[in-house]
Chain A
Amino acid sequence: MLPIRTLVVAAAALCTTALTAPAFAAPVEIQWWHAMAGKNGELLNQFADDFNKAQADYKVVPVFKGGYADTLQAGIAAFRAGQAPAILQVFEVGTATMMAAKGAIKPVYQVMADAGENFDPQSYLPAITGYYSTKDGKMLSFPFNSSTPVMYINKDAFKKAGLDPNAPPKTWPEFFEDAKKLKAGGSACGFTLGWMAWTQLEVFSAWHNQPIATEENGIGGPGATLEINGPLQVRHLQDLVDAAKNKSFDYAGRTTEPEAKFVSGDCAMIQTSSGGYSVFKNNAKFEFGVAPLPYYPDVAGAPQNTIIGGASLWVMGGKTPAEYKGVAKFMTFLSQTPIQVQWHETTGYLPITKAAYEQTQKDGFYEKTPGFDVAIKELTGKPPTANSKGLRLGNLVQIRDIVAEEVEGALNGTKTPKQALDNAVTRGNALLRTFEKTAS
Chain B
Amino acid sequence: MESRSGHLSWLPHLILVLGLALVGFPIYVTFVGSTMTTPEILSGHMSLIPGGHFVENYLAALTQGMPQLSGVPVARLMLNSLIMALSIALGKMLISFLSAYAIVFFRFPGRMVCFWMIFLTLMLPVEVRIVPTFQVTANLGLIDTYGGLAIPLIASATATLLFRQFFLTIPDELIEAARLDGAGPLRFLWDVLLPLSRTNLAALFVILFVYGWNQYLWPLLVTNTASMTTLVVGIKSMLTVDANTPWHLVMAMAILAMAPPAAVVLLMQRWFVKGLVDAEK
Contact = CB atoms under 8 A, between A and B. Distances in A.
User: Is there a contact between chains A and B in the complex with CB atoms less than 8 Å apart?
Assistant: yes
Nearest to B69: A64
Interface stretch (B53-61, B165-173, B238-246, B272-280): B238-246
Interface string B219-262: 00100111110000000010011111100000000000000000
A167 interface: no
Contacts of B143: 78, 81, 83
B197 to A, nearest CB: 8
A24 B224 CA distance: 11
Contacts of A5: 190, 194-195
B194 A263 contact: no
A300 interface: no
B147 A20 contact: yes
Interface centre among B44, B91, B134, B243 (most CB of A within 10 A): B243
A260 B245 contact: yes
Contact of A63 (B86, B135, B138, B226): B226
B225 A63 contact: yes
A1 B195 CA distance: 10
Interface string A54-79: 00000000111111001000100110
Nearest to A66: B237
Given A15-B94, A18-B83, A259-B243, A83 B68 contact: no
A53 to B, nearest CB: 16
Contacts of B35: none
Interface in A334-367: none
Nearest to B202: A1
B44 to A, nearest CB: 8
B146 A23 contact: yes
Given A5-B190, A23-B146, A279-B243, A37 B224 contact: no
Interface stretch (A6-14, A131-139, A158-166): A6-14
B86 A18 contact: yes
A256 B221 CA distance: 23
A278 B67 CA distance: 15
| Interface size grouping (class) on chain A | 35 or more
B87 interface: yes
A18 B146 contact: yes
A80 B135 contact: yes
Interface in A14-37: 14-15, 18-24, 33, 37
B200 to A, nearest CB: 11
B243 A260 contact: yes
A318 interface: no
B118 interface: no
Contacts of B190: 5
Given A279-B243, A279-B244, A24 B225 contact: yes
B147 A45 contact: no
B70 A11 contact: no
Interface in A254-269: 255-260, 262-264
A1 B240 contact: no
Interface string B60-97: 00000001111100000000000100110011011000
Interface string A67-111: 100100010011011110100000000000000000000000000
Contact of A256 (B145, B146, B226, B242): B242
A248 B97 CA distance: 63
Given A14-B90, A15-B91, A64 B225 contact: no
B40 interface: no
Contact of B67 (A20, A24, A45): A45
Contacts of A82: 138, 141
B147 to A, nearest CB: 5
B42 interface: yes
B141 to A, nearest CB: 8
Nearest to A44: B67
A81 B138 contact: yes
A434 interface: no
Contacts of B93: 11
Contacts of B68: 37, 41, 64
Given A11-B90, A18-B87, A263 B243 contact: yes
A253 interface: yes
B65 to A, nearest CB: 10
A70 B233 CA distance: 13
Given A4-B194, A62-B70, A78-B143, A19 B242 contact: no
A63 B224 contact: yes
A383 interface: no
Contacts of B134: 77, 81
B87 A15 contact: yes
B152 to A, nearest CB: 12
A82 B83 CA distance: 25
B92 to A, nearest CB: 10
Nearest to A5: B194
B67 A64 contact: yes
B224 to A, nearest CB: 6
A414 interface: no
Contacts of B44: 264
Contact of A19 (B141, B151, B225, B241): B151
A38 B244 contact: yes
B138 A37 contact: no
B198 interface: yes
Nearest to A78: B224
B234 to A, nearest CB: 11
A412 interface: no
A12 B70 contact: no
Contacts of A74: 224
A62 B67 CA distance: 10
Most buried by B among A81, A258, A260: A81
Interface in B130-183: 134-135, 137-139, 141, 143-147, 150-151
B86 A14 contact: yes
A255 B243 CA distance: 11
7 contacts: A19-B87, A23-B228, A82-B141, A83-B224, A256-B240, A258-B242, A264-B42
Ranked nearest first, the 5 interchain pairs of A and B with the lowest CB-CB distance are A81-B138, A38-B244, A256-B242, A263-B243, A11-B90
Given A18-B146, A255-B242, 13 more contacts: A11-B86, A14-B86, A19-B147, A45-B71, A64-B67, A64-B237, A65-B237, A80-B138, A81-B134, A257-B242, A279-B242, A279-B244, A280-B243
